[in-house]
Amino acid sequence: MALINKKEVASILEEIGTLLELKGENPFKTRAYFNAARTISGLTGDLQQLVESGEIGKVKGIGKALAEKITTLVTTGELAYYEELKAEFPPTIFELMNIPGLGPKKIKKLYETLGISSLIELEYACNENRLVDLEGFGAKSQENILQGIEARKKYSEKFHLPVAEHAATTMIEHIRKAKGIKRSDIAGSLRRKKEIIGDIDILVSAAQNDTPAIMKKFVSAPEVERVIAGGKTKSSVILKSGINVDLRVVADKEFPFALHYFTGSKEHNVRMRTIAKDHNLKLNEYGLFHESNNKPVACKDEKDILKKLGLVYIEPELREDFGEIEAAEKNNLPGLIEEKDLRGTFHCHTTYSDGANTLKEMADAAMQRKWQYLGIADHSKSAQYARGLSKADLKKQRKEINSLNEQFDSFQIFHGIESDILADGSLDYDDKTLGELDFVVASVHSRFKMSEAEMTRRIINAIKNKNTTILGHPTGRLLLSRDGYQVDLVKIIEAAADYGKAIEINSHPYRLDLDWRMVKFAKEKGVKIFINPDAHNTEGLDDVRFGVGIARKGWLEKEDVINAMEVDRVIKYLGLL
């Protein structure tokens, strides 16, 4: 049996889509491949099984041709069609897709007329002035391409949430000083609380004659490094931090439509427009119109728009075409958890291991946040790099926690550990030691390079351990720098469901692990979730808000999250009564 997973199939389908674009194929055909790639990577079922049973052809968006290709890929690990397509272009040509302003048509032109197929070659050609006389190009586009290459060298194209959030709030506060702004909001992936952010979309409503001054305010903000586009309704800049920010100014009556449109996701919007068409309406960023006579349907906010389309309101975090539209049609959407629902949090570090603040300081910070409890889980003895705790340290820490708990009126510290999952899946203390703790977070911190099968077995072993309460950061990924270890998350989640164990959403903005796509699957399997900050200092406690965003993207309600429970219920859940 060939070993090819969903991720690999999806990436091949996506590559085929790009190659077809380069060839100038029918755009709807290329879109079919991109859609299929998305569908496959979002599947929670076993791909091998779907292929073997032939069910793959019944998945929406996968017809006869794609089903055959996917089947070939999964069973043989190869696909002649893909190999033939790949052979038509040098592999480095994909680099060019990342330069702003260059799309498939222009790349094709560059390749066929100038033989350019890599970033190096492109940069060289620009410096030789060879794009100036090329049909469809010119001095200006050559200059823009050069700047695009520079920007790529200088910046990675995506940003962690705190960086994007800071840039967005700074910018929107700056713009709000302009005269005549009626409504303003951040849209795009930041509003949807995506785990990483590509660019920032800001939306403003104002009267037409106030617009030029607002645009001017925007492009002259102190953080702006370069203005990319400056139109009447849309401007685009790059900040010194490298983040791209777009500003749209619309009339106030258009604001809800524009907010909906620019919040996306793209896939969600495509579905919404199709639904509008089903109602003989046309939806765009300016309004909702009757197809027959172009008359507008007035809507005061987003909720109103959705109502007109026969849907209940869909929270921005859910707008990923991940089942939210079907659920909205049936009025079956979850009542999403909010940050204010949290009653405490777990998985926090102190000066006992590699944290910066003492037990007392962490507890005080938790109380300041009006929480009822805090779960301390310092590193375990195997984590020597992080001053992991010996059994004696654990005893000492227990004593201090008991003494602090006696002083508190209505606050409680839970004593736990973040115990390393060793290579064979065992935890790094004996059962007696672990059994005396209030809770155990089991995490992988070493031996990342195991095969998927081995790693999956290892983690399931840890889940089976009677002392394990929570599986910590299930994939170990570091966003924008390190992929997670190879692991079959579907099997992990099913094991957690079978053994009644919880999984954390590690809320550190570099982790956000469990991924929201899998959070939804975990919920469907009945697995309980902890929203944990993995805090190494008192400010780190605030990271739970990123975790709440991910929880919301994963359709979680208050009842799904243990640390949204009152302290009595948590005590019962942890079996401490």
Please, which residue, 180 or 230, has the CB nearer to DNA? 230
Please, which residue, 60 or 154, has the CB nearer to DNA? 60
For the record, the structure tokens of 436 come out as 């005396």
Q: Which long-range contacts (CB under 8 A, 24 or more apart) does 127-134 make?
A: 134/109, 134/110
Please, which residue, 90 or 198, has the CB nearer to DNA? 198
> Whole-number minimum distance, CB 245 to DNA, in Å?
11
Cα(141)–Cα(428) distance, integer angstroms: 59
Cα(118)–Cα(539) distance, integer angstroms: 44
Omega prior to 514 cis, within 30 of 0? yes
> Whole-number minimum distance, CB 284 to DNA, in Å?
4
Query: Where does 115-265 have alpha helices with state H?
Result: 119-127, 139-154, 161-175, 188-191, 211-219, 255-263
> Whole-number minimum distance, CB 111 to DNA, in Å?
11
Please, which residue, 81 or 573, has the CB nearer to DNA? 81
> Whole-number minimum distance, CB 6 to DNA, in Å?
17
> Whole-number minimum distance, CB 83 to DNA, in Å?
14
Q: Which are the contacts of 402, defined by CB distance < 8 A and separation ≥ 6?
A: none
> Whole-number minimum distance, CB 554 to DNA, in Å?
23
DSSP state of 232: S
Please, which residue, 107 or 531, has the CB nearer to DNA? 107
Q: What are phi and psi of 371, to 5 degrees?
A: -85, 160
Q: Radius of gyration (Cα) for the chain, nearest Å? A: 26
Please, which residue, 166 or 232, has the CB nearer to DNA? 232
CA distances from 193 to 189, 440, 514 (A): 6, 29, 15
CA-closest candidate to residue 441, choices 343, 346, 561: 346
Q: Which residues of 486-505 are buried (b: 16+ CB within 10 A; e: fewer)?
A: bbbbbbbbbbbbeeebbbbb
Is 201:185 a contact under the CB 8 Å cutoff?
no
> Whole-number minimum distance, CB 220 to DNA, in Å?
15
Please, which residue, 185 or 393, has the CB nearer to DNA? 185
> Whole-number minimum distance, CB 102 to DNA, in Å?
6
Cα(152)–Cα(469) distance, integer angstroms: 43
Bridge partners (DSSP) listed for residue 17: none
Please, which residue, 144 or 443, has the CB nearer to DNA? 144
Task: Please report, as ranges, the residues that interact with DNA according to CB under 7 A.
Answer: 26, 28-29, 31-33, 36, 60-67, 81, 99-107, 135-142, 144, 188, 198-199, 201, 229-234, 244, 246, 262, 264, 266, 269-270, 273-274, 277, 282-286
